[in-house]
Structure 1
């Protein structure tokens, strides 16, 4: 490593000292190994009080977040922020733990802001928040950024921060091999998508949306993604006008069924042409509708994916959850988003 690069990644952070509790998933980030340690070094050099705990298995990040929010992991002192170090699944667990701790009866502790050290395959929430990728810049954000308020969604009681989906999308998420995912990253989703499409039975889903004015509408779709943010699967744009700092959803309806349509949707998504699908198909095929509540019915027991993990089964009811705060730069206007 050159001296210039060494200085760039270990530069101390000059910002007001914060007490940070980092919940780290040691399984995540094989291709980004070492990032968390360098961020912690930069934080401590800048005067931050940093404690780190590691997860030991599924849902452990959620448990640890609930304990951390009450100060149980830091000698009774509630951290100024709780940082999720891992992929989108780890972040999802931490958010569920934080909001559950804040809504317990009797009343739980105050809602502690969330910070992110993105180590996963897609890091969709980090992309949506426009988090910096450099070590010093990311540490500076954790140490000094003003918390921003964003809104999560809730699906059958389980929270999601970016999107929830049914249909091919959810079956791919449920079917992907974790070992293959660790070895080849996003390529694992491509392989599983092709395998699912080859045997896809093309079920239909009934999507019932309620908008802000109380109007209830029914739709039929081959797949559906209920979006909180505009990114999907990394930096692919699915819902161009969705924003995390607004309540409600942008419901993406993939109306055409069959294998060829599934391949076409996938190609349109990765090439940035999904919004043009409706024009190409003569006014049908793909639509985005606003909603404050969503109910989806279909094959009973079908998976519902949220933030890249299975979080529920059909039928599913979705609504906006309580807002929470996250350490991130100011959200940009939609017109400036890619």
Structure 2
């Protein structure tokens, strides 16, 4: 067994989750020892959001944001360490903040960019830092995402039942765990990135708590059909996406000026639920159980819509499996840090489309 720290700040930009975990060799079992979450400082959140789009002086601003993110991560590390000595922690697995994700674009290679000053984090914490997990997969002609399916398979796969895992973060992504055959996974489309953005713009609240505002509105079927015509939804995996596509600008503001804001929120919630349900039925019709994690698992309205759309599937929160919904992705990057140190591949080529298994990440050793 060994102690690792996992750090995750996702597309929803709701803050940083940190976990201290005890991992068996080979990542076969995992125990969460501590968890801490904190929202981003408003100015850092605003800058990270702005850096998702072209702007002035981007290199300078991105470098300073990467420094600020490292310092914010240091605070979460202090929170989960408690009385645990730094010397007991083998490594920190840090995802960083995705601000651009364009695999395969432009020159046929593309890129993915997760801001984080890993050197500064290692210097401040005195613990080895493994970060930049996605770039190696992209270099091998993969999507660089999603990377959590290998972790999901280790924790949630059942030999006698086709199972799936849904992460409802800024983007919704599915992992498909058949009773037999290869693990699959892909990004379905938008989730909290649009739900939170629309809610904040029209109510001033950072998110729609429990989905109550969406539940008060009416689904606009014409608008939903327009959104579902987006070519991304029809693409076959491997595929991944982010704010590069699904930003508030994607909603086509001109079509929304005469619509009730609550109805748009209801339609966005329905977009999330229908795109996930359609993908699960299309790509894993034998699935009988769906584990749900991510901040969107607390959106009661979206969860109710998924239950209605998937009547033959048992839908459960990962809390029931001993891993809280807000801990799963941070734990996955602790698991990936261990895989790096043990020189185990962290990607699944069937998921990302990479040319083969690759050891993922870059190491910043402690001083």
Shared fold per TM-score greater than 0.5? no
TM-score by length of 2: 0.29
TM-score (norm 1): 0.30
**Which structure dedicates a bigger proportion of its chain to helix?**
2
Larger RCO, structures 1/2 (Cα 8 Å, 6+ apart): 2
